[in-house]
Amino acid sequence: MKKLTMVFMILVTMNLTGCTVWSDGLKEMKSDISGLDRVCTIYLENGETIVYEGKIRLDGEATSFGHILVDGKRISVYHTSMVCIEK
């Protein structure tokens, strides 16, 4: 019963915060589970760029490193700038 009450309270809270937050939450879940169609550009120190396209899942925090999962393969990104745009 406690779990049901907790789930109900979470749903009510999400509903009161607005539709945008709810849709953003659903998009985040979809991104975490299967990835989204994205184009990610990684800018290297020497001026070169690397571009990845496809179902891409972002993993990691906004720190000096992160992981990109492209078609099931993990690419680790360290100390670079990266821009990912959803298609």
Please give the single-letter amino acid code of residue 46.
N
Q: Look at 7-11, 12-16, 27-31, 73-77 and tell me which has the smallest mean pLDDT.
A: 12-16
Give the tokens for residue 17.
Answer: 């915060």
Please report, as a single letter, which amino acid is at residue 3.
Answer: K
Q: Output 15 or 27, whichever has higher pLDDT.
A: 27
- Does residue 18 surpass a pLDDT of 60? no
Q: What is the mean pLDDT of residues 76-83?
A: 84
For the stretch 21-76, pLDDT in tens is 556 667 677 666 777 888 999 998 899 999 999 888 877 665 567 778 887 788 88
Please check the confidence at residue 20 and state whether its pLDDT lies above 60: no
Which residues lie below 8 Å from residue 80, measured CB to CB, with a gap of 6+? 42, 43, 44, 45
Domain 35-87, CATH among 1.10.260, 1.10.3470, 2.30.30, 2.40.10: 2.30.30
Task: Report the b/e string of 42-66 with b at 16+ CB within 10 A.
Answer: beeeeeeeeebeeebbbeeeeeeeb
